[in-house]
Amino acid sequence: MFDFILRPFHQKLTGFSLLRFKHYHVHQVMLPYSGFLLSVIPIYLLFGLLDYQHLTEHAWVATLSRVFLSILCIVVLITLRRYASKYLELAELFLVLTVYMSIITIGKLAMTQGNFDYQSGGVLVMVYIGALSRMPFKLSLFGLSLMLLSYLLVIAPDRIGQDYGEELDRISIFFAVFLISLVASLRRDSETRKSFQQFSQIRSQQLRLRASQKKLALQTVTDPLTELKNRLYLTKNGPQIEQSAQHTNKPLSVLMIDIDNFKSINDTYGHQVGDNVIYGVAQIIRQHCGRYTGMNVRYGGEEFLSVFQCFNEQQLCQIAEKILDDVPKLYWPNTNLRVTISIGASIDVKQRWDLNELVSHGDKALYLAKQNGKNQIQLITQ
């Protein structure tokens, strides 16, 4: 009969899943519903008006107890909600038991004064656990069991001696409320676990979707052959590069790099070798420029662009010379191929922080390098 309710408990949570469930229970269940604990405070205080009717003396003690415990509930709840929400479950159990024990104590006090009709208010606390509380099943079972046991040990013996038949009716009602609240708590825990499973599935789908979107966004700004950035990335991030250089008051500089005689390489050795050459040159550029910039771009078919915001003329030329020296060292199996490059360097010594203008000057420098015989570096400052 209870298989539908107990089914979620058959899949025991362990390790990281258990930690996630606890976090979910605190932040998605306990915190949103913790305000319901305050909703019973006015009812609890309202019963204080009856203390003066049923207690012939010391009614003020019961009233002060109700007020003190109500203030305690409010202070503890607000404090834990803000600073230690992970203890809300235990705090609610403690506060509920404290309120229940105060009702038992007031009922016991009434019996010492000859009033045996003021001992049933505790059943409302049991109803609260079944209807409004969001405590886990184990804590609800512990709380309900302790409440029932307290009534049977503290109140029931005296009332049985007073009116045996009526007290049996009261005890049967307490047992019925105990069982109903217990089943309600069990079903609530079952629904919480199912909600957690649905939440986890949705969360996993969201994370996969986010990862796919991130991968797709990266692919749109990445050149698939060289794995360098593409022109779209340069267009999107160029203004940020300018602002960053201006903020740090550092000059911008660029290297425009072009593979010499690339059309001849394609025509002689085929496009597969041509692609391998492009990839190999890109890795040399990444090797020497990667630590200094995240803006290594495949600017055109066999043309590359690197943007820096930390180099002076000497440093820029040193990087360019390393690239120029290492590219011819690349080995191409089964060919007599020797690849060279030409480099146009440009630096914004006047610090205008205009990347488009700087790239234009780098392109002019590259044109001069080609005109003057290739396999060399030309520098233009602006």
CA distances from residue 265 to 118, 261, 272, 315 in whole angstroms, order as listed: 101, 7, 10, 31
CA dist., res. 129 & res. 100, Å (int): 11
Share of the chain above pLDDT 90, in %: 37
363 pLDDT exceeds 80?
Answer: yes
What pTM, to 2 d.p., does this model score? Answer: 0.58
Q: Is 302 noted as a catalytic residue in this protein?
A: yes
Catalytic: which of 302, 313, 321, 357? 302
Average pLDDT, the chain: 86
362 pLDDT exceeds 70?
Answer: yes
Q: In this structure, are strands 253-259 and 303-308 parallel, antiparallel, or unpaired? A: antiparallel
- Beta sheet of 377-381, edge-to-edge order: 296-298, 303-308, 253-259, 341-347, 377-381
What amino acid occupies position 125? Answer: V
Q: Which residue has the tokens 């003329």?
A: 313
Residue 12: predicted pLDDT = 63
Residue 352: predicted pLDDT = 79
Q: Could you tell me the pLDDT band of residue 84, with boundaries at 50, 70 and 90? A: confident
Q: Could you tell me the pLDDT band of residue 324, with boundaries at 50, 70 and 90? A: very high
Residue 8: predicted pLDDT = 47
CA distances from residue 366 to 210, 320, 371, 377 in whole angstroms, order as listed: 41, 12, 9, 8
Average pLDDT over residues 183-212: 88
14 pLDDT exceeds 70?
Answer: no
How many CB atoms are closer than 10 A to CB 156? 18
Share of the chain above pLDDT 70, in %: 96
Residue 287: predicted pLDDT = 92
Q: Could you tell me the pLDDT band of residue 187, with boundaries at 50, 70 and 90? A: very high
Beta bridge partners of residue 297, listed in sequence order: 229, 305
| Least-confidence region, from 3-17, 40-54, 159-173, 342-356 | 3-17
- Give the 3-state secondary structure of residue 297: strand
CA distances from residue 72 to 20, 91, 94 in whole angstroms, order as listed: 30, 11, 11
CA distances from residue 260 to 224, 255, 368 in whole angstroms, order as listed: 22, 15, 13
